[in-house]
Structure 1
Amino acid sequence: MLRLGYKASAEQFGPVELLDFACLAEKAGFDSVFVSDHFQPWKHHDGHAPFSLAWLGALGARTSRITIGTSVMTPTFRYHPAVVAQAFATLGVMFPGRIVLGIGTGESLNEVPSTGMAWPDFKERFARLREAVTLIRRLWTEERLTFEGQFYRTQSATIYDRPATPVPIYVAAAGALIAKYAGRVGDGLICTSGKARELYTETLLPKVAEGLSEAESKRPDYARMIEIKVSFDADRDRALQDTRHWAVLALTPEEKVSVENPDEMERLAAGLSAERAASRWIVSNDPDEHVERISYYVDLGFEHLVFHAPGPDQERFIRLYSEQILPRLRRRFGGSGENTTGA
């Protein structure tokens, strides 16, 4: 069954305003809300970086139905994995069946400024992630855990408040190695739209399937989640110009991998053309065309779509999507979202 989510852009909006948007998304019929976890945003001017764990607690308290989680958190540098395990166990107790821990290997922009560390290579970041997941899951299921890993240690540790069923862990992947790991160990995959078809059809989804085949237990409810970058408006020029707010996404990994300063990230993004800024977005003012282009990702095999809109008027986006896009997608692919406001 298709699930349709809303991406809460914590880099673009302050925590109170963002919370109102996320609550409106539930009322408008979205099935989930996933929030960014950043210590610093991708730009200095008008940027934001609220603490995702505090924000998720507030969102859970103000909503009743939607699935909520991080997309994505790095449980290896700013946060000790044991702290992440405790935080998500608490959220799981407070909002049972609604919490997802979405994780990734991290970005220097988030981890270096708050720790002063030297940013390690991918091999170490991936090794830390694997060890962190092992520790988190053991803390959710064992008592008095003494853990001696390469990077993390605990001494007779116990998490006293935890849900009966452990919180699902979705793993963000952009390449073959982590995609296979996501299938073998995770409860779901997270990736993003706007990349070459071959990445999805020849690397990410096949490697997830390969990992699933090697997993210790079968998971028929495994989630294949993709954040789809959409700019939809009755005025197509407005939809196009809105993508300028997120031009940073058009930067290549090589252009931004070691950038640790929001001012520098903002400078790099500002130098991109309007065409390149919009290159990773589905830009449209025609709802049928818009749905057709989104359907491309469903046809690839993704069944949990989280929509990221770039414009400043998020309330307008949520209402337009509720009226014109979500119903079309559900008629075409199925789904059971609720619309309690008629938005």
Structure 2
Amino acid sequence: MSNTRSQMPFSVVAGQDMKPSGALPHGIANGLVWAIRARPGEDPSPLEPHEIESLLNDRTPPSNYPKPSESWAWLHFDTVHSSARQHVATLPCLPEDVSAMLAETEYGVMLEALPGLVWGALPAFDDAVSEEDRDICAWRFAMRPDLLITTRRNPIPVLGAAFRTLRAESIPRSPAGVIDRALREFTGSVRRQIGKLDDELDRAEDALLLIERRTDLGHLGGIVGKGRRRATELRRVVTPIDRVLRDEDLELPEWAEDELRDRTERQVHAALDDMIALLDRARSLQDELGSSQAEETNRRLYILTAATILMFPATLVTGFFGMNTGGMYLASGAYGTLEAGAVCFIAMILTWVFLKLARLL
């Protein structure tokens, strides 16, 4: 077997250099991306076709599932095609409702457990280049002490990251460790996005404090609004995870309790705390920005109102002298225009003095 094959054990499913005798039956390979066996202290090894068939056809009831053993298997399916979903929905090794859940395409967050079986659906980001542009999608799993089955319809980077961490010195004791790593990778991505949003709010806050005239606040509102919208989207995704992990009615098996209840729950709760703090900050900054915008609007209205009031007497005088009536005062003098202008100016001065004495300016 080549070095590339040993580094990427899932290549056995679609490898080009496999011998015909090692080809997987169509019913088993339908949608299968990788199939490996993990043993602590050893590098993951690809499963043979007969091993995959034996695992998928194991009809042992959940109550009789084996206790944690020295090794466990991980089968990962791509359910983008309807034939793959149909195949996964009828896996004999799982209860019917669990197999049907693995083939679902609707987004949702859930976590259920029986004494020997844990299954659920968890969120993740798709594989967009920029973290800010990544959409939320779901991946699903079902695991027992000796087997982990995961499905996804969109490329999920967190599963690839969890797969790449499987090395001889870092193989978890049970499949629950893979779920823990995938969730921690997801919460890490969430916290990185929170950090970037926090930096953007820092820049908006600095600009808000440095602007003296407060005449250019529109672009700051866009920055704060974008950060608040993204933080709200992330909170709506992380909150259900925190809720299902804290559900007191959920009784996880002992082999999954330590991984999911302890480390994963702490990571998710920390990300949720950071998100709530960011939302509070964005909300207060948006309130301050709104107050500054209202203050700027009031200042402009004040200037406009003062100018209108000061010009009102001059408008009255010009309106009076503009009447086409006989015997108009100053109509025949050589300096009538200057005298009328002086009357307008004096009226404006008297108005200004009155507003000052009345403390209206």
**TM-score bucket (shorter structure):** under 0.3
For the pair shown, the structure with the greater C-alpha radius of gyration is 2
Considering Cα pairs closer than 8 Å and 6+ residues apart, tell me whether 1 or 2 has the greater RCO: 1
TM-score scaled by structure 2? Answer: 0.24
